[in-house]
Chains A and B, each alone.
Chain A
């Protein structure tokens, strides 16, 4: 139990944090037609360097069933 909690802690401590608040504030005024949720998604995606653990392939293991 303690070990499981410790592992969870280590995993969470290793999670990358992306702060896009400043860019979001600026861009929301310049690009008001982009949905705020989409803008956050794009900014966080742009902020993640290649090799940081991003997943983007969907594999179809049988018709209509995917794993990512």
Chain B
């Protein structure tokens, strides 16, 4: 394993994210935070109701983990399918199927990848149930619907992939710390 510092060819941001990064309210934001804000802004503009799930939901609740994508859960309706196309266009990407076996869509962007999941998560966690328990989080002038840490943990337990299992101790410990501090 080696870590090299080097100048990377190409940009890891896009115009939508650059605009966000340039805002005074985002003066201290990293490109990752600016990316999340740009996605929330695009969701609002296309009027797509989405719940932030997965690792980013954990991160937004203080868990010290890293991830490769931003997972969104939406209802599977023809209208939402159209809105997802509009979301991709707003961010400069095009939604595509991840695999033939899954209905989920992926939007590849220079800054990160967005995975759009439909109706439910592993562990029979439905959109309705997650939405009812979700947190409404204010982030840099945007509002995000974020799945509770308990639901993030339950979905990762049910998914059971190595990368999910690897994050579970940190997510569980974060939840225990938050509960002990009275911050849930």
Interface residues of A (CB under 8 A from B): 23, 27, 30-31, 34, 38-39, 41-46, 48, 50-61, 67-68
**Which positions 126-149 of chain B face chain A at CB distance < 8 Å?**
139-140
A30's contact among B62, B63, B112, B180, by CB below 8 Å, is which?
B180
Q: Is the interface of A mostly helix, strand, loop or mixed?
A: mixed
Bound-state CA distance A67–B25 (Å) is 26
Q: Across the interface, which residues of B come within 8 angstroms of A55, CB to CB?
A: 30-32
Beyond A27-B180, A31-B176, A53-B28, whether A41 also contacts B64 by CB under 8 A is yes
Q: Across the interface, which residues of B come within 8 angstroms of A41, CB to CB?
A: 64
A-B contacts at CB below 8 angstroms, number: 91
Q: What 1/0 mask marks residues of chain B from 77 to 116 whose CB sits below 8 Å from any chain A CB?
A: 0000000000000000000000000000000000110000
> What are 7 of the A-B contact pairs (CB < 8 Å)?
A39-B173, A43-B177, A51-B29, A53-B30, A54-B59, A56-B66, A57-B70
The yes or no answer to B33 lying at the interface (CB within 8 A) is yes
Beyond A57-B66, A59-B12, A67-B8, whether A34 also contacts B30 by CB under 8 A is no
Q: How many B residues touch A, CB cutoff 8 Å?
A: 39
Bound-state CA distance A26–B129 (Å) is 35
Minimum C-beta distance from B176 to chain A (A): 6
